[in-house]
Amino acid sequence: MRIDVVSIFPEYLAPLNLSLVGKAVRDGLLDLRVHDLRDWARDRHRTVDDTPFGGGAGMVMRPDVWGEALDAVMTPGAHLVVPSPAGQPFSQQLAADLAGTEQLVIACGRYEGIDARVVEHYAAAGTVSEVSLGDYVVNGGEVAALVVVEAVARLLPGVIGNPQSLVEESHAGDGLLEYPVYTRPTAWAGLEVPEVLLSGHHGNVARWRRDRSIERTAARRPDLLLALDPAQLDRGDLAVLSALGWSVREGGLVPPG
């Protein structure tokens, strides 16, 4: 797979040379190219922004500069991702969809964002996703590009040594947060590893983990439980949920109270 990132701060993307993503690039599993948007500016100051029509604070990135850059970088069928706090929430599902594409191009905006005609223009010709990291604002799209590249790259075949790790983690498919994990020493800071995990009884371990997943999800992300199909739940699941005050009604889960 090929991923191109366009930014006025290409050095911001340097961490992608490290760790699993860096190794994926060196192993030839990922063709990662980082570009400086200013290479497509036309004046000697290499200007990429201008004042907003209609007034207001800050600067807006010019569509003509972005158009030159994206036309140079995008190949037919490319999926364009534009990070923005006004985008759709980035998700594991979108990461998985993007991992199935031939080329992903990430356009990192700064200042007040990119002239809206850029998304409009490329959406008419192909697939464009404006994506948000969450309900907060960072200074530009580079941090989001790091997140998107890492979330996508680790799903490419061969990048993660043991693909089973992808199946069991949070947001991986069962709609629940991952259970807590433990390693040696068995006692630390007065805290013991739960007995069942030392028992060697696989069935009990699996049940304990599933129960903890459900409890965590209920406490931290009840919205994920509301989205679950109760048909996916077994009797053990329903017992934990009912102990937490949840019930099943008309094909959905109902929170306590």
Q: Which residue ranges make up the site for ligand ADE (CB under 6 A)?
A: 83-85, 132-134, 136-138, 141, 144
- Nearer to ligand ADE among residue 84 and residue 129 (C-beta): 84
Comparing every residue's Cβ against ligand ADE, the nearest one is 83
Strand bridging mode 127-132 / 187-188: unpaired
Residue 4 tokens, joined: 């191109």
CA–CA separation, 222 and 209 (whole Å): 18
CB of 137 to ligand ADE, least distance (A): 4
- Nearer to ligand ADE among residue 43 and residue 135 (C-beta): 135
| Other beta carbons within 10 Å of 35 | 17
- Nearer to ligand ADE among residue 141 and residue 246 (C-beta): 141
CA–CA separation, 134 and 51 (whole Å): 27
CB of 147 to ligand ADE, least distance (A): 8
CA–CA separation, 109 and 37 (whole Å): 10
- Nearer to ligand ADE among residue 129 and residue 217 (C-beta): 129
DSSP assigned state of 114: B
CB of 170 to ligand ADE, least distance (A): 20
- C-alpha torsion angle, residues 4, 20, 155, 162 (rounded to 10): 160
CB of 186 to ligand ADE, least distance (A): 41
Instruction: Give the torsion sign (CA, 132, 136, 140, 145).
Output: negative
- Nearer to ligand ADE among residue 133 and residue 177 (C-beta): 133
DSSP assigned state of 100: T
CB of 139 to ligand ADE, least distance (A): 7
- C-alpha torsion angle, residues 195, 196, 200, 201 (rounded to 10): 150
Furthest-apart CA atoms within the chain: distance in Å: 70
- Nearer to ligand ADE among residue 78 and residue 114 (C-beta): 114
Answer whether 155's CB lies under 8 Å from 173's CB. no
- Nearer to ligand ADE among residue 85 and residue 255 (C-beta): 85
CB of 35 to ligand ADE, least distance (A): 18
CB of 169 to ligand ADE, least distance (A): 22
